[in-house]
Copies of this chain bind each other. A is one copy, B any other.
Amino acid sequence: MNKIECCFSPALYPYYADNEDSIVVVVDIFRATTTICTAFAAGAVSVRPVSSVQEAKKAKSEGQLVGAERNADKCDFADFGNSPYDYFPEKLRGKTLVFTSTNGTRAINAAAGASDIIIGAFVNLLAVADYCLQKNKNVVALCAGWKNRFNIEDTLFGGALADILTERGNFSASSDAANVAINLWKQAKYDIFDFLKNTEHVARLQKRFLDKDIKYCLDINKFNILPRYDKMLNIIKLYN
């Protein structure tokens, strides 16, 4: 029996990663992992995650295409921010994107020791689940959170994934964290937008009039794509 774990923060990852052979699903619903999926759907060939604004700035000065966000706002030097609506096919097709965000790249770094890191969001939930079912290994949903704090939307994704894997595959959700994620998902799934309306990050986005981003990020299975991180090359590419 495989385990599906839900890790609530990059800072907790060492306590949930008992096995380097696990699949780690990095999740940052609002908005990094949703946006990365969108960039691939718009035709990007790869995404290079960088940790710091300086690295992103340097890439921009070298003529690369750059997406960069801090504290929910687009960095002014960048081509794109963290809104999926920034990522048009006309600009992305055939390109490599250099990308940094407040929480998403931190989560990818936290999991750097894992052998198999994929990018998960509601927009590609079923593609993620299918991959996990096919590989049939332990899975850790690694929530990016907000500056290492717990958030509900990433946890809901962990619950949704755990719900599918335990229903359809040879998976058990035995930890308290995974069970709470499933509990919350079962409350939320019939109206995720309503369930999230009083949460921290929704408030942060609504203050910036980003209601349409929120709805976009909650659009389940919009894309049948699976971005996967190649740690040797430090690059995210589509799987298959």
Residues on A lying within 8 angstroms of B by beta carbon are 8-9, 11-12, 14-16, 147-152, 155, 174-177, 179-180, 183-184, 187, 198-201
Query: Which chain B positions have C-beta within 8 A of A9?
Result: 12, 15
A9 nearest in chain B by CB position: B12
Residue of B nearest to A201 (CB): B176
Give complex CA distance A150, B181 in Å.
11
Q: How far is the CA of A180 from the CA of B147 in the complex (A)?
A: 18
Query: Complex Cα distance A187/B180, Å?
Result: 12
14 CB-based A-B contacts, threshold 8 Å: A9-B12, A11-B11, A12-B149, A16-B149, A149-B175, A149-B176, A149-B177, A150-B177, A152-B176, A152-B179, A176-B200, A179-B199, A180-B180, A180-B184
What is the distance, in angstroms, from A89's C-beta to the closest C-beta of chain B?
A: 34
> Quick one: which of B12, B151, B200 contacts A12, CB cutoff 8 A?
B12
- Copies of this chain, complex-wide, total 2
> What is the CB-to-nearest-CB distance from A187 to chain B, in angstroms, rounded to a whole number?
8
Also in contact, A200 and B180, with CB within 8 A (given A9-B12, A12-B149, A149-B16): no
- Chain B residues near A199: list those with CB within 8 A: 176, 179
User: Contact partner of A15 among B147, B174, B200, CB < 8 A?
Assistant: B147
Q: How far is the CB of A121 from chain B (nearest CB, A)?
A: 18
Q: Is the CB of A15 within 8 A of B176?
A: no
Measured CB to CB, the nearest residue on chain B to A15 is B148
A175 to B148, CA, bound (A): 13
4 additional contacts, CB 8 Å, given A14-B148, A152-B179?
Answer: A150-B176, A152-B180, A155-B180, A176-B201
A11, A147, A180: residue with the most chain B Cβ atoms closer than 10 Å: A180
* Contacting pair B184 A150 (CB below 8 A): no
- Nearest-neighbour CB distance to chain B for A35, whole angstroms, equals 21
Cα separation A80 to B175 with both chains bound (whole Å): 29
Contacts of A155 in B (CB 8 A): 180
Distance between Cα atoms of A132 and B84 in the complex (Å):
43
A19 CB, min distance to chain B CBs, angstroms: 15
Q: Tell me which residues across on chain B come within 8 A of A176, comparing CB atoms.
A: 149-152, 199-201
Q: Chain B residues near A147 (CB, 8 Å)?
A: 15
